Chain A
Amino acid sequence: MADNDVPRRKFLKGAGAAGTLAATALAGGLARAAEMPAPAPATAAPPANEPLLTLTADEAAFFSAAYDTIIPADRLSPSGTDCGCVTYIDRQLAGAWGNGGKFYRNGPFLPAKPEHGYQLPLTPREYFAAGIKAANVWSAKTYGKSFDRLSAADRAAAVSAMETGAAAFEDFDARQFFEALLQSAMEGFFADPMYGGNRNKVSWRMVGYPGLPATWGSKAEALRGKKVTIEPQSIADFS
Chain B
Amino acid sequence: MARKLKQVDAVLVGMGWTGSIMARELTKAGLSVVGLERGAHRAPAEDFALPGIRDELKYRLRFQLMLDNGTETITMRHMPDEDALPMRRWGAFALGDGLGGAGTHWNGVTWRNLPSEFVLRSHLEQRYGRNAIPADLTIQDWGVTYDELEPYYERFEKLCGTSGKAGNLRGRIQDGGNPFEGPRQADYPNKPLIMSQAGLIFTEAAKKLGLHPFPTPSSNNSAAYVNNEGQTLGACQYCGHCEYFGCESNSKASPNICIMPVLMQDSRFELRTNAYVKNLVYDKRAKKVRGVVYIDRQTGEELEQPADLVVLCAYPFNNVSLLLTAGIGQPYDPRSGRGVVGKNFCLQVMSGVQIFVEDEINPFIGTGVNPAALDDFQGDNFDHGGLGFFGGGYLYPSISGGRPIQVRATPPGTPRWGSKWKEATTEWYNHTFPISAHGASYSWRTNYLDLDPNYKDAIGRPLVRMTYNYSPNDRKMSQFLTDKAVEVARAANAKIIGTPNPRTGDFDNINGQSSHHTGGVIMGTNPRTSALNRYLQNWEVDNLFVMGGAAFPQNPGYNPTGTIAALAYWSANAITTQYLKNPGPLVHA
Distance (whole angstroms) from the CB of A165 to the closest CB of chain B: 14
Contact between A156 and B418, CB atoms less than 8 A apart: yes
Known: A106-B456, A208-B430, A216-B365. A235 touches B422 (CB 8 A): no
Distance (whole angstroms) from the CB of A127 to the closest CB of chain B: 12
Closest to A235 in B: B51
Q: Which of B50, B51, B456 has the largest count of A CB atoms less than 10 A from its CB?
A: B51
The segment from A5-13, A21-29, A71-79, A135-143 that touches chain B is: A71-79
**Does B57 count as interface, using CB distance less than 8 angstroms?**
yes
Closest to A66 in B: B417
Distance (whole angstroms) from the CB of A191 to the closest CB of chain B: 4
**Does B364 count as interface, using CB distance less than 8 angstroms?**
yes
Residues of chain A with a CB closer than 8 A to B51's CB: 212-213, 235, 237-239
Residues of chain B with a CB closer than 8 A to A18's CB: none
Distance (whole angstroms) from the CB of B490 to the closest CB of chain A: 21
A101 CA / B70 CA spacing, docked (Å): 7
Residues of chain A with a CB closer than 8 A to B419's CB: 72, 74, 76
The 8 Å CB contact of A104, one of B88, B235, B417, B507, is B88
- Residues of B within 8 A of A (CB-CB), count: 64
**Does B73 count as interface, using CB distance less than 8 angstroms?**
yes
Closest to B197 in A: A225
Residues of chain A with a CB closer than 8 A to B56's CB: 190-192
Contact between A185 and B194, CB atoms less than 8 A apart: no
Contact between B365 and A102, CB atoms less than 8 A apart: no
Residues of chain A with a CB closer than 8 A to B510's CB: 115, 117
The 8 Å CB contact of B89, one of A117, A182, A190, is A117
**Secondary structure call for the B interface:** loop
**Residues 421-444 of chain B: 1 if any A CB is under 8 Å from the residue's CB, otherwise 0?**
011011001100000000000000
Known: A206-B426, A225-B359. A187 touches B197 (CB 8 A): no
Known: A104-B69, A112-B85. A220 touches B50 (CB 8 A): no
Residues of chain A with a CB closer than 8 A to B78's CB: 113, 115
Contact between B70 and A104, CB atoms less than 8 A apart: yes
**Residues 219-239 of chain A: 1 if any B CB is under 8 Å from the residue's CB, otherwise 0?**
111011111100000010111
Known: A116-B85, A191-B56. A207 touches B416 (CB 8 A): no
Known: A74-B422, A213-B50. A115 touches B506 (CB 8 A): yes
Q: Which residues of B, 489-532, contact A by the 8 Å Cβ criterion?
A: 505-510
Contact between B62 and A223, CB atoms less than 8 A apart: no
**Does A37 count as interface, using CB distance less than 8 angstroms?**
no
Contact between B454 and A97, CB atoms less than 8 A apart: no
Closest to B455 in A: A106
Distance (whole angstroms) from the CB of A206 to the closest CB of chain B: 6
Contact between B54 and A117, CB atoms less than 8 A apart: no
Contact between A71 and B422, CB atoms less than 8 A apart: yes
Contact between B417 and A70, CB atoms less than 8 A apart: yes
Contact between A214 and B54, CB atoms less than 8 A apart: yes
**Does B52 count as interface, using CB distance less than 8 angstroms?**
yes
Contact between B404 and A217, CB atoms less than 8 A apart: no
Known: A72-B418, A108-B454, A117-B88. A209 touches B404 (CB 8 A): yes
The 8 Å CB contact of A208, one of B197, B235, B429, B454, is B429
15 pairs, A vs B, C-beta closer than 8 Å: A102-B68, A110-B454, A112-B85, A115-B76, A116-B76, A117-B87, A182-B417, A191-B56, A191-B61, A192-B56, A195-B57, A215-B50, A217-B237, A226-B362, A235-B55
Pairs of residues from A and B, 3 with the lowest C-beta to C-beta distance, nearest first: A115-B508, A238-B51, A207-B429
Using a CB–CB distance below 8 Å, which chain A residues touch chain B? 69-72, 74, 76-77, 97, 100-106, 108, 110-119, 156, 159, 163, 182, 185-187, 190-192, 195, 203-204, 206-221, 223-228, 235, 237-239
